[in-house]
Amino acid sequence: MQRLEADYLIETPISPEKAAAVMAGEQSTGTFIKVPGETAALHERAGAQIENISVLTNEITPSLPGSMTGRVYHRAKVTLSWPFENIGADLINLTATVAGNLFELQEFSGMRILDIRLPKRFMSAYSGPKFGIAGTRKLAGVETGAIIGTIIKPSIGLNATDTAQLVSSLCEAGIDFIKDDELQADGAVCPFDSRVKAVMKVIRDHHEKTGKKVMYAFNLSGDVDQMRRRHDFVLEQGGTCVMASLNAVGLSGFLSLSHHSELPIHAHRNGWGALSRSPLLGWSYPAWSKLWRLAGADHMHVNGLENKFSESDKSVMGSARSLLKPLDSEYPFVSMPVFSSGQTVRQVQQTRVGLECSDCIYAAGGGVMAHPKGPKAGVIALRQAWDAASSDVDAHDYAASHQELAEALEAFSI
């Protein structure tokens, strides 16, 4: 494969063939009118090609406003390809090429990027995740099973001392992984450096006492200079993970962090709903996440089953499984899926079955903090739930001899 390829779901009031031609022209050598220099030879050399069109259904109303009007709106799958030489191995301009201005063209009442395929010489320019699943397991001290995690709650408002005290109780509870909430970065109440110092003292003390070093993902999102400096401070303090908000820092900022980082990068997707909530607009997660896997995301959020948001369970599991599917046999670039958003002991069994393995971070905020007997019991209950799921034992049966799990199942029942 020598060309870049992208699959789209489109909806259009004109014929899908004409719509595909508009897409190909807009994203390569053409524009709304023929211009000097737009020769057949140039188009042959640099133009996008239509590789496939599969007509699906016809609709009588448009999915999105602002398009041309028509009697019927055709839905189709379209595959376009571009010469590698148009952009080279450039993730930033790959995004401009496959997405660009397509979403706002009048010829379309729906446009969604379904997948991206790249030649080896593109992928060879990127290192992908530096730690991934194996490196994360080693640093977290979890050889098998799910990595049991939580999020600092309340999300915002705790100072550095409060946060460290909560981390201390979670360490004593046997947690594997803790992360900042994405709202907590470097505010006046809980400055980044103060939080790192206080939290890492607790984690170092716990490590010295027990031999277990809890992984904490500090949210270092900021401009490039801030992120590099914050990363270095976490590393200096003995930390083993940093976190960045992908949509806030952007691909360029994330690449700068990834190139610099000596720690796993926990990639948070907050803002994802704006890119995905409409089924006829934006990106599919498997396509979008490939950009960040190439850029070096070690962990990526995928939402969670029976979540508090609008995403379906089918979409969540499809996203999670896509992160475990190698991009290529030579360049696998596998990232660890992170389940979060309203997760408790109730969703563990179906998560394990759907994922078909335990290679994940299972991050429960309220699912740990709101246990009737406190966070320690919350962590124990989650571990018991994963033990049951990994042994193909029903959680309620397992709970008969495991009190923390029994209490959690009752507390979080609907």
Short-list 25, 41, 44, CA closest to 33: 25
Which CATH number do you get for residue 78?
3.30.70.150
Do 89 and 148 lie in one domain? The reply is no
Asked whether 15 and 115 are in contact (CB, 8 A), the reply is no
Q: What is the pLDDT of residue 38?
A: 75
Measured between alpha carbons, how far is 56 from 172 in angstroms, rounded to an integer?
Answer: 55
In the chain, the amino acid numbered 31 is: T
Domain containing 32: what range? Answer: 3-123
Measured between alpha carbons, how far is 273 from 270 in angstroms, rounded to an integer?
Answer: 8
Q: What is the pLDDT of residue 289?
A: 98
Overall domain count for the chain: 2
Measured between alpha carbons, how far is 76 from 56 in angstroms, rounded to an integer?
Answer: 5
Mark the ranges of the chain whose per-residue pLDDT is less than 50.
none
Residue 47, strand partner residues = none
Alpha helices in 102-219 (DSSP H): 120-123, 132-140, 160-173, 192-210
Do 359 and 396 lie in one domain? The reply is yes
The last residue of one of the domains, among 123, 149, 175, is 123
Measured between alpha carbons, how far is 292 from 295 in angstroms, rounded to an integer?
Answer: 5
Do 266 and 291 lie in one domain? The reply is yes
Q: What is the pLDDT of residue 29?
A: 80
The last residue of one of the domains, among 68, 88, 123, is 123
Q: What is the pLDDT of residue 33?
A: 63
Do 28 and 145 lie in one domain? The reply is no
> Residue 112: CA atoms inside 13 Å, Cβ hemisphere, count?
21
Is pTM, for the whole model, over 0.85?
yes
Do 19 and 74 lie in one domain? The reply is yes
pLDDT in tens, 72-97: 999 999 999 999 999 999 999 999 99
Do 227 and 360 lie in one domain? The reply is yes
Do 14 and 157 lie in one domain? The reply is no
Do 88 and 139 lie in one domain? The reply is no
Q: What is the pLDDT of residue 414?
A: 58
Do 84 and 218 lie in one domain? The reply is no
Do 208 and 338 lie in one domain? The reply is yes
Q: What is the pLDDT of residue 296?
A: 98
Do 118 and 172 lie in one domain? The reply is no
